[in-house]
Chains A and B, each alone.
Chain A
């Protein structure tokens, strides 16, 4: 009986340790915040901080990109990482958002970013309580006077990816792999389809949603289906599900190096995911990536705010013109690389000078097609 109790106690300690461990971290940081607040001998520097969502600052996606933006801002202003310059806090779970935002508020940062639409409720709540503090949120809209909302014209990056895909395809069959049918992904899809249509109206675009952002096997199965039905270029806007697409593309390339299988990445330059080594030579199955420059947006907004122009209560939309979205360099292995690059440049200009308005929803896509 004694032994049994010991076992139970051990399990309890293990479980409690996990839970209390999380609390412990938060507590310490709060104490630090307290001392910083009491010190109050801060210089005039405009300090900024960010709270990541569960991805962490090295997620190869928008948290990392946002952190790079903050670092670039700090560099430009000659600040260093820490309470008197720029800093970040990582969230281990949804429950950490509000705590982290509060902690940073107590550390007297002048502007605090929440990265990702997951943080929308937390920013709304804390901004309502801390009305003297300025916040910003990426990828969502919070309608409060002390919150600046950052949105992107993903459709413009996707449009350029569509132009690339439309010109790169030889079978005139193109695939789009979406994560979930949410507004952001709808912008990607609409922009992509419009891009394909602009340069290659005969191409058939197959659309499929995996209904998940973290199911690589679903991505792989969808990619497998599309490639085997004759598709030769697939664009994904599906986060981790897209890993399956790259695995499938690399597999097919490895099996038959002559075959044309291409994939287009998203958010950041994903070229590194597409490397295939066949008989000692490196090939790459990724043509390009539709970039979302969270770094530029975060840096730009910080600079604006530092100059006293904090766009509180407004939605700032970053598109091609503001360098908020873009397209990664085109793969060298493409035979018509020069032609594609020229077309991409041409359309970039057309979008920038307003000649083309890229559709950001299915409804807009319909009117776009009609033209």
Chain B
């Protein structure tokens, strides 16, 4: 295999892998920057995947080519709706945020499977006919060398994810809203003193996270699995959480970490066709992504600083 052949496989599959993780990690970013731990990302992805598939199957005849995109919006709305539950429990009622997040995970998979059974009378849905499929992006795909590697056989959603990551960085670091969001996660009392509504900001943070995680689930279901069943989302939410921490709670960092995960996974798959890796037993390649992650976390990035008020409910007037 020439270098070109390797890149032609490696880059698109890295992006494919990373896309759902990017969306979900960005979601976690908004929630955790506002001071609310969101371990429920997995559950929010599940409900997003479920909503996207059910909507897609139901409305594909009416909506035609735009179905997957509309389904994605529905997944976002449903994810945001479910995250309200997390917000109410952990912000208004000051429940333990981890417990509430775990409850979301259990609730989401249970409810989704129950509804699938109720609607379709079986344990998993049919496959969707119109998902996100591979495209060659016009004009950009024609650029020599770079075109085939980055812009052919890929998905629009991958580029959307990167754009959203940049947008999230802009919102979080360059706008007054972002400053407020971060301030309630670092020192809510100081923020409150300055007239920022801490409760409201945290609600917004959690709801945005639900929406983005819903999109993450929707993208995964419509681009990769094509149906919804009990194993559709199996751990991607937690991978996204890891990407968020790896990326030091920074949108671009989280994106980079998600792409790194994707790259490591793709490398483990293509590895046995590479001239310098072909003699390594496949089990080492399979564990490589996780080993690389641990090495990266301990060695390269240094200490990851969490938002200071993370997981602490804000009680007005207490010190």
Contact = CB atoms under 8 A, between A and B. Distances in A.
A117 B10 CA distance: 36
A173 interface: no
Contacts of A60: 122-124
A165 interface: no
A370 interface: no
B225 A247 contact: yes
A184 B299 CA distance: 40
Interface in B89-127: 89-90, 92-96, 99-100, 102-103, 106, 117, 121-124, 126-127
A247 B13 CA distance: 14
A275 interface: yes
B269 A225 contact: yes
Interface string A198-234: 0000000000111101111110111011001100000
B93 A221 contact: no
A217 B16 contact: yes
Interface residues of A, number: 49
A171 interface: no
A247 B16 contact: no
Given A7-B94, A208-B272, A215 B133 contact: no
Interface string B129-140: 101011100000
A218 B269 contact: yes
A18 B16 contact: no
B225 A224 contact: no
Nearest to B8: A228
Which of B13, B90, B117, B266 has the most C-beta atoms of chain A within 10 angstroms of its own C-beta? B13
Given A11-B95, A220-B224, A246-B226, A4 B315 contact: yes
Interface in A230-264: 240, 243-244, 246-247, 250-252, 254-255
A272 interface: yes
A275 B96 contact: no
A54 B283 CA distance: 26
Contacts of B126: 272
A305 to B, nearest CB: 28
Given A8-B96, A10-B89, A275-B127, A222 B134 contact: no
A247 B226 contact: yes
Contacts of A12: 99
A59 to B, nearest CB: 5
A246 B117 CA distance: 23
Nearest to A276: B129
A14 interface: yes
Interface in B204-244: 220, 223-227, 229-232, 234
A277 B226 contact: no
Given A4-B313, A247-B225, A11 B94 contact: no
Contacts of B106: 18
A58 to B, nearest CB: 4
Chain B contact residues (Cβ within 8 angstroms of A): what range?
A: 35 or more
B194 to A, nearest CB: 24
A326 B224 CA distance: 29
Which of B102, B124, B225, B315 has the most C-beta atoms of chain A within 10 angstroms of its own C-beta? B225
A105 B122 CA distance: 27
A275 B128 CA distance: 10
A18 B259 CA distance: 36
B282 interface: yes
Contacts of B124: 59-60
Contacts of A220: 13, 16, 224
Contacts of B231: 213-214, 240
A221 B103 contact: no
- Interface residues of A, dominant DSSP: helix
Given A10-B95, A60-B123, A228-B8, A221 B315 contact: no
A173 to B, nearest CB: 13
A56 interface: yes
A304 B93 CA distance: 61
A125 interface: no
A247 B131 contact: yes
Contact of A229 (B16, B95, B269, B273): B273
A23 to B, nearest CB: 15
A55 B13 CA distance: 29
B225 A221 contact: no
B127 A246 contact: yes
Interface in A171-213: 208-211, 213
B110 to A, nearest CB: 8
Which of A213, A247, A254 has the most C-beta atoms of chain B within 10 angstroms of its own C-beta? A247
Contact of A15 (B99, B232, B266): B99
A224 B12 contact: yes
Contacts of B171: none
Nearest to B318: A1
Given A18-B106, A217-B224, A208 B8 contact: no
B38 interface: no
Contacts of A276: 129
A143 B9 CA distance: 48
A211 B272 contact: no
B227 to A, nearest CB: 7
Given A58-B123, A273-B127, A243 B13 contact: no
A10 B273 contact: no
B164 interface: no
B70 interface: no
Contacts of A218: 265, 269
B94 A4 contact: yes
A3 B93 CA distance: 6
Cβ-closest 5 pairs across A and B:
A7-B93, A7-B95, A214-B231, A11-B99, A221-B13
5 contacts: A58-B117, A217-B16, A220-B16, A251-B134, A252-B134
Given A221-B16, A254-B133, 15 more contacts: A3-B92, A4-B93, A4-B94, A7-B95, A55-B123, A59-B124, A220-B16, A224-B9, A225-B269, A225-B273, A229-B1, A250-B133, A251-B134, A252-B134, A273-B127
Interface of B: 1, 5, 8-9, 12-13, 16-17, 89-90, 92-96, 99-100, 102-103, 106, 117, 121-124, 126-127, 129, 131, 133-135, 153, 220, 223-227, 229-232, 234, 265-266, 269-270, 272-273, 282-283, 286, 313, 315
